[in-house]
Amino acid sequence: VVPAEVRPHAKVGLLPPYAAGKPPVAVPGLAPFKLSSNENPHAPVPAVLERIHEVVTGAPGAASPVCRYPDPLSTALRERLAAHLEVPADDVVTGAGSLGALSQLITAFAGDGGESGAPDEVVFAWRSFEAYPIVVRSAGAKDVQVPLTADHRHDLPAMLEAITDRTRVVLLCTPNNPTGPVLTTDEVEDFLGRVPPHVLVVIDEAYVEFVRHPQAVSGLDMYRRHANVVVLRTFSKAHGLANLRVGYSVSRPEITAALRTVAVPFAVSTVAEQAAIASLDHLDDVLAGVQTVVDERERVVAALAEAGWDVPETHANFVWLPLGERAAEFAAAAGEKALSVRAFAGEGVRVSIGEREANDRFLEVARAFGV
* Residue 129 beta carbon to ligand PMP: minimum distance, rounded to whole angstroms: 4
Phi, psi of 206 (to 5 degrees): -55, -30
To ligand PMP, the closest distance from the beta carbon of 176 in angstroms equals: 8
3-state secondary structure 21-65: CCCCCCECCECCEECCCCCCCCCCCHHHHHHHHHHHHCCCCCCCH
What is the rounded radius of gyration, in angstroms, for the C-alpha atoms of the chain? 21
108 vs 202 by CB, closer to ligand PMP: 202
| Cβ proximity to ligand PMP, 70 vs 97, nearer residue | 97
- At position 69, the amino acid (one-letter code) is Y
C-beta nearest to ligand PMP: residue: 97
CB of 239 to ligand PMP, least distance (A): 10
Sign, CA torsion 340/341/345/346:
negative
Backbone angles phi, psi at 142, to 5 degrees: -110, 130
Nearest to 317 by CA among 211, 228, 164: 211
Output 204 or 273, the one with its CB closest to ligand PMP.
204
Nearer to ligand PMP, 98 or 167 (CB): 98
Tell me the C-alpha distance between 120 and 141, whole Å. 5
Residue 206 beta carbon to ligand PMP: minimum distance, rounded to whole angstroms? 4
Do the beta carbons of residue 171 and residue 162 sit within 8 Å? no
Contact residues for ligand PMP, defined by CB under 6 A: 38, 97-99, 129, 173, 177, 204, 206, 234, 236, 242, 247
**What's the CA gap between 312 and 322, in Å, rounded?**
8
Smallest gap from Cβ 104 to ligand PMP, in A, equals 12
The DSSP secondary structure of 249-314, one letter per residue, reads EE--HHHHHHHHHHSPTT-S-HHHHHHHHHHHHTHHHHHHHHHHHHHHHHHHHHHHHHTT------
Contacts of 230 (CB under 8 A, 6+ apart): 105, 200, 201, 202, 203, 223, 249, 250, 251, 255
Nearer to ligand PMP (CB atom), residue 24 or residue 100: 100
Q: Which is nearer to ligand PMP, 206 or 327 (CB)?
A: 206
Nearest distance from residue 57's CB to ligand PMP, in Å?
26
Closer Cβ to ligand PMP, 132 or 191, answer by number: 132
| 314 vs 363 by CB, closer to ligand PMP | 314
Measured from the CB of residue 173, what is the shortest distance to ligand PMP in angstroms? 5
Cα 163 to chain center, whole Å?
23
Question: In the complex, what is the shortest distance from the CB of residue 236 to ligand PMP, in angstroms, rounded to a whole number?
Answer: 3
